[in-house]
Every structure is written in structure tokens, then in C-alpha cells.
């Protein structure tokens, strides 16, 4: 959903290098964590399928008066496969998207940072809502997605505002004001995506609860049922 | 080839693969490393260059490259609509907010909206740059065989990334069909994506089924692959030679051009661009 739809040539070389270096550091950290926990091949296959699904969803634009927006289910991916593999999925989706002109090649780094924030916040916010606060699947999914996508929309404004558009004489504040209009639209779409994700999570919780196994409420946290006393 | 695509403006990977595997033009025969270097060159070029005429020159080069690959012009024009949509939608606000000479003005109940020359200029430069890079990028994608992509992926990326990248490429065709089915299901229930948000519960169920199918298919494929000895790395069957002398000459020319335009920008014209 939150995605920098800028093509190559929009950012100056300096900011392009900065954002891509930050993205490389983040993806490097994610790869190191994956190496440490020795990911089984089956999880790689599942992550690849998630990337293919996200890429497919990514390409369908919902037209709005101000510009096109799209859903991407990155918080859902984070909830299902975790932030480390989710970071890999985000990078791969951005590479394929750049190959067909959905965001520039130079934007793979900045867009991956945005996507990694979405999968990480989606995962931890869902965990907090579901495991700690014991909310239902729907509300946990809705809350985690809406929160992650709101933060990432503001991050997009920050990245574009700080980097500025080459050739423009607008100040950083003016650029950010321009971008805030799109951010408002993205946040509204994020809430709609939150509703859809909430229902998807509730649906998955019913038909494939094993996919949400790592977000299961610990059994000892459940109040034990009172022993029934037989009359007579 | 493809059962159907989402729309005419979204490039279909099946179509891309078809051209890559069946073509025999001079660009198809070009070394893939040289072609990759051309993508890097075009990205660096449009990042360094601010002048619209230089950007147009790159667009002309990109179109010649595309024509030399003997790929249909109609296809690339259809696929240009996505970057055009993005550039126009994002630079739209700059039309009104960029300071400069007003070209046209609209009075909406006291609110004056003026389109400035500088705003139009920004939009045009971004548009030309975007089309140039997208054309080079799609030409390379439509002229490079899958086996070479496998080899390059494992040379460029860490193992886990390369594996997920290549598996995603393989799964993309299946999920594209699955997603087309989902869209058909939405339309058959008299809902589009916009209406779908209002009837989100029904459509979330459809998306949910899509995810469940994707997971089940991934688990089945994984079991089949592991039974055949898959441990996380895909086999690289074709070796890829280094670029030829002509390829190295082309890369050297590209580096020279980048050097010249960078010098022009940072040492002659504008030193404060960084």
C-alpha cells in the first residue's frame, strides 16, 4: 500500500545512495538472522509463494481522484512468516516491480525500507494485540495492519520530503506538504486494507489455524475452567 | 502463452518469458552481463542528468535498443501506461505548487489554481526519464533467457535471496492466474475493487481462500522438491561467459558517458546538486 511511486531520476544521487545503503544494512541483518536460525527449505518455498501473491496484488491499482493506490498485504505477510523472511519477500517484490516500471530501480532500497517497516510492525503489533492483549483475530489483524500502514505512509512522506525531487525548487517542508495529501489517501486505504486483512486473518484462523501457530495464546494464560461438582 | 492478464497495462511475465526464450535478435544474442550493465548505466544516467534533452537522447537510445531486439512496439506502448500513471499522479501537485511563470490559471470560487512552466517541466523530465529506464529494463527482461537469469541471480545475490527470487519467478505465473480468478469472482458478484472495500467481508473471504491455496500449493511443491533433494539452493545448469570485447567496449563507452555528464553537472554547471 505505502509505496514510493517515483521512477528513476527523481532523487539526487546522494539520497539514492543513502536510502539504498540503509536498505542493504537492514536486509543484511535479516539475512544474518535467517542464517543463524537455519531456515528450512519449506519456509523458503512458502516465503516465495507469499512474494508471488504480494506481487500479484501489488499490480492491481485502485483508481482514486488524487492518484492510484494499491493493496499489498505486507503486514499480513509479516504476521504469517515473520519479519526476517518478510524483509526478503519485500525486497524481491520490489525488484520484480522495478523490472516492469512499478517504481524505479533506484527506489528498490527506499521502498524496501518502507516494506520492512510494514512487515515488522505488522508482526509485532499483531503479536501484542493477539498474545498479550488477547484480542480476536479480526481486531488483532485490523489493528496491526492499520497501525503498520499508517506509520509506513508517514515514512514515505519523510523519505520523499527529506530527499526532495530533483529539479524542484520547493523546500523540504513544501515537498512534505505536497506528499501529505497522498499520505492521507494512503492512510485511508490502509484502514480499508486493515479491515480486509482482519477478515482474512479471521478466515485463516478458522480454516488453517496452524498458519498462525506462532501467535497462539499460551495455554497457561487461559483461565482454567472451574471443576464441576456433581450433585447428589 | 497466458490465460489472461489483469489488464493490458500490467506487463505479463509469461509474455516477457515467451519473447526471451523464442527471440533470436542481436539483443537476444548479447551477453546478459552487458545488458545488466546497460540497465545500471541508464539508472545512473537519469539520476545524474537534469537536462531534458539528454533524457530524450537516452529515451531514443532505449527505443532503438528495443527495436533492435525485434520486439513489438504496441506491447511497450501499452506497458508504458503504468509508469506514466505513476509519474503524472505524483508530480501532479508540482504543476500547481512549483514556483514559476504561470501558463494557465483557474479560478474556483475565489481559489486560484495556476499551472506553472516549472511544474510542467518537472513532470516532463520525470516522465521521459521513467520511460527511458522502463524501456531498457523491459527490453533486457524480454531478451534474457531464464537459465541465464538463474546464473546471474546466484552470482549477484546471497543464496537465500537468490532462491526466493527464482522460486517467486516460477510461482508468479500460477498466482497471476489465481489472482485473475479472484478478480473474476469479484466482478461476477457485481463488485469491483472499489465496491469491494464496502463488501469487504465477502471479498476478504475470497482473498483468504487465495492465500490458503497459495500456502497449500507451496507446501505441496516444497515436499516434492525436498523429495528430489532440494536443500535451499536451486541448480545452476547453464554457465554464462564473460562479456565479449564488443561488450566491454560498450560498457567502457557507458562509463565514459556517465563520467562526462557527471563532470558537466558537478563541475561546470551546478556544484550544489549533492
CA distances from A38 to A85, A128, B120, B198, B231 (A): 12, 26, 52, 43, 11
Secondary-structure percent of chain A, ordered helix, strand, coil, rounded to 5: 70, 0, 30
Q: Hey, is A224 helix, strand or coil?
A: coil
User: What pLDDT is recorded for position B106?
Assistant: 74
Instruction: Give the nearest partner residue to B211 out of A9, A14, A204, using CB atoms.
Output: A204
- DSSP state letter for B268: I
CA distances from B65 to A88, A99, B132 (A): 32, 16, 11
Mutate to test the interface with B, among A13, A38, A85, A100 (most CBs of B within 10 A): A100
Burial of B96 (0-12, 13-18, 19+ CB in 10 A): middle
Residue A54 C-alpha, separation from nearest chain B C-alpha, in angstroms? 9
Any idea which residue has 493506490 for its cell? A69
Mutate to test the interface with B, among A9, A43, A106 (most CBs of B within 10 A): A9
Q: Which chain B residues have a beta carbon less than 8 Å from that of A19?
A: none
Average pLDDT over residues B172-178: 78
Q: Which chain A residues have a beta carbon less than 8 Å from that of B172?
A: 52, 55-56, 96
Instruction: Give the nearest partner residue to B168 out of A14, A51, A168, using CB atoms.
Output: A51
Where do the domains of chain A lie?
13-215
Instruction: Give the nearest partner residue to B125 out of A88, A98, A167, using CB atoms.
Output: A167
- pLDDT band, residue B178 (cuts 50/70/90): confident
Residue B110 C-alpha, separation from nearest chain A C-alpha, in angstroms? 21
Residue A157 C-alpha, separation from nearest chain B C-alpha, in angstroms? 12
Interchain pair B6, A59: CB under 8 A: yes
- The series of mean pLDDT values per 10 residues for chain A, 232 residues long, is 78 93 95 87 86 80 61 88 92 90 89 94 94 89 94 92 84 81 82 87 86 74 50 40
Q: Which chain A residues have a beta carbon less than 8 Å from that of B214?
A: 49-50, 52-53
Taking 80 as the threshold, does the pLDDT of residue B182 lie above it? Answer: no
**B2 vs B89: which has the higher pLDDT:** B89
Instruction: Give the nearest partner residue to B93 out of A53, A178, A211, using CB atoms.
Output: A178
**Distance between CA atoms of A95 and B168, rounded to whole angstroms?**
11
Interchain pair B43, A41: CB under 8 A: no
User: What pLDDT is recorded for position B1?
Assistant: 46
Residue B3: φ, ψ to 5°:
-65, -55
Q: Each residue of B210-224: pLDDT tens digit?
A: 778 878 888 888 888
Taking 70 as the threshold, does the pLDDT of residue B192 lie above it? Answer: no
If you count residue pairs, one on A and one on B, with CB atoms under 8 Å apart, how many are there?
252
With a CB cutoff of 8 Å and minimum separation 6, the contacts of B79 are: A100, A101, B9, B10, B11, B134, B138
Question: Which run of H or E residues covers position A46?
Answer: helix A41-58
Interchain pair B158, A31: CB under 8 A: yes
Specify which residues B104 forms β-bridges with: B115
Nearest CA in chain A to B93: A178
Nearest CA in chain A to B46: A9
User: What pLDDT is recorded for position A222?
Assistant: 54
**Is the separation of the CB atoms in B73 and B67 below 8 Å?**
yes
With a pLDDT cut of 70, the percent of chain B lying above it is: 85
Interchain pair B98, A8: CB under 8 A: no
Nearest to A156 by CA among A112, A101, A209: A112
Interchain pair B160, A31: CB under 8 A: yes
- DSSP state letter for B158: -
Average pLDDT over residues B194-208: 64
Interchain pair A182, B129: CB under 8 A: no
Instruction: Give the nearest partner residue to A101 out of B99, B134, B274, using CB atoms.
Output: B134
Instruction: Give the nearest partner residue to A200 out of B168, B207, B215, using CB atoms.
Output: B207
Q: Each residue of B60-119: pLDDT tens digit?
A: 999 999 999 999 888 888 888 888 888 887 777 788 777 777 777 777 766 677 788 888
Q: Which chain B residues have a beta carbon less than 8 Å from that of A7?
A: 83, 86-87, 126, 129-130, 133-134
Q: Which chain B residues have a beta carbon less than 8 Å from that of A199?
A: 200-201, 204-205, 208
Helices (H), B159-199: 159-188, 193-198
Into which CATH architecture does domain A13-215 fall? Orthogonal Bundle (1.10)
State whether ipTM is beyond 0.90.
Answer: no
Helix-helix angle B117-141:B32-48, to 10 degrees: 170
Instruction: Give the nearest partner residue to A56 out of B49, B176, B205, using CB atoms.
Output: B176
**Stretch among A87-96, B28-37, B148-157 having the lowest mean pLDDT:** B148-157
User: Using alpha carbons only, what angle is made at residue A109 by residues A108 and A112, rounded to the nearest 5 degrees?
Assistant: 80
End-to-end Cα, chain B, rounded Å: 47
Q: Which chain B residues have a beta carbon less than 8 Å from that of A91?
A: 161
**Distance between CA atoms of B3 and A122, rounded to whole angstroms?**
34
User: What pLDDT is recorded for position A37?
Assistant: 83
Instruction: Give the nearest partner residue to B47 out of A13, A50, A60, using CB atoms.
Output: A13
Average pLDDT over residues B244-261: 92
Mutate to test the interface with A, among B134, B140, B205 (most CBs of A within 10 A): B134
User: What pLDDT is recorded for position B2?
Assistant: 46
User: What pLDDT is recorded for position A134?
Assistant: 86
Amino acid at each position: 500500500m505505502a509505496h514510493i511511486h517515483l521512477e528513476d531520476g527523481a532523487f539526487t544521487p546522494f539520497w539514492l545512495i543513502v536510502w539504498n545503503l540503509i536498505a542493504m544494512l537492514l536486509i543484511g541483518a535479516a539475512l544474518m538472522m535467517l542464517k543463524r536460525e537455519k531456515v528450512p527449505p519449506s519456509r523458503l518455498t512458502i516465503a516465495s509463494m507469499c512474494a508471488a501473491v504480494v506481487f500479484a496484488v501489488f499490480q492491481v491499482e485502485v483508481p482514486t481522484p488524487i492518484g492510484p493506490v494499491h493493496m499489498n498485504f505486507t503486514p499480513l505477510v509479516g504476521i504469517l512468516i515473520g519479519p526476517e523472511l518478510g524483509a526478503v519477500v519485500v525486497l524481491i517484490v520490489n525488484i520484480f516491480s522495478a523490472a516492469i516500471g512499478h517504481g524505479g530501480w533506484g527506489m528498490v532500497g527506499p521502498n524496501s525500507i518502507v516494506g520492512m517497516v510494514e512487515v515488522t510492525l505488522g508482526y509485532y503489533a499483531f503479536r501484542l494485540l493477539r498474545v498479550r492483549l488477547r484480542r480476536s483475530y479480526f481486531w488483532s489483524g485490523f489493528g496491526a495492519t492499520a497501525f503498520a500502514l499508517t506509520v509506513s505512509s508517514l515514512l514515505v512522506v519523510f523519505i520523499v520530503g527529506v530527499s526532495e525531487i530533483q529539479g524542484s525548487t520547493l523546500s523540504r517542508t513544501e515537498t512534505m506538504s505536497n506528499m501529505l495529501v497522498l499520505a492521507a489517501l494512503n492512510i485511508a486505504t490502509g484502514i480499508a486494507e486493515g479491515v480486509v486483512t482482519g477478515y482474512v486473518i479471521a478466515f485463516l484462523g478458522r480454516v488453517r489455524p496452524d498458519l498462525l501457530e506462532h501467535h497462539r495464546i499460551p495455554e497457561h494464560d487461559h483461565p482454567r475452567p472451574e471443576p464441576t461438582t456433581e450433585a447428589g | 502463452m497466458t490465460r489472461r492478464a489483469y489488464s493490458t497495462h500490467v506487463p505479463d511475465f509469461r509474455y516477457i518469458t515467451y519473447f526471451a526464450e523464442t527471440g533470436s535478435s542481436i539483443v537476444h544474442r548479447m551477453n546478459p552481463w552487458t545488458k545488466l550493465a546497460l540497465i545500471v548505466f541508464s539508472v545512473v544516467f537519469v539520476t545524474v542528468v537534469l537536462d531534458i534533452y539528454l533524457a530524450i537522447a537516452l529515451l531514443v537510445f532505449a527505443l532503438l535498443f528495443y527495436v533492435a531486439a525485434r520486439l513489438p512496439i504496441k506491447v511497450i506502448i501499452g506497458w508504458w501506461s503504468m509508469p506514466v500513471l505513476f509519474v503524472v499522479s505524483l508530480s501532479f501537485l508540482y504543476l500547481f505548487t512549483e514556483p514559476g511563470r504561470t501558463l494557465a490559471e483557474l479560478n474556483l470560487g475565489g481559489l486560484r489554481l495556476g499551472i506553472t512552466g516549472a511544474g510542467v517541466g518537472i513532470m516532463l523530465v520525470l516522465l521521459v526519464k521513467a520511460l527511458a529506464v522502463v524501456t531498457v529494463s523491459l527490453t533486457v527482461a524480454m531478451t534474457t533467457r531464464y537459465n541465464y537469469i538463474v546464473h546471474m541471480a546466484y552470482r549477484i545475490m546471497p543464496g537465500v535471496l537468490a532462491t526466493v527470487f527464482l522460486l517467486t519467478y516460477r510461482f508468479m505465473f500460477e498466482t497471476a492466474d489465481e489472482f485473475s480468478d479472484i478478480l473474476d469472482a469479484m466482478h461476477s458478484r457485481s463488485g469491483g475493487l472499489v465496491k469491494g472495500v464496502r463488501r469487504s467481508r465477502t471479498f476478504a473471504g475470497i482473498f483468504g481462500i487465495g492465500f490458503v491455496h497459495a500456502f497449500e500449493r507451496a507446501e505441496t511443491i516444497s515436499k516434492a522438491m525436498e523429495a528430489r533433494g532440494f536443500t535451499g539452493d536451486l541448480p545452476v545448469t547453464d554457465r554464462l561467459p564473460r562479456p565479449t570485447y564488443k561488450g566491454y567496449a560498450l560498457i567502457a563507452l557507458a562509463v565514459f558517458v556517465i563520467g562526462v555528464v557527471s563532470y558537466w553537472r558537478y563541475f561546470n554547471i551546478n556544484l550544489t546538486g549533492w
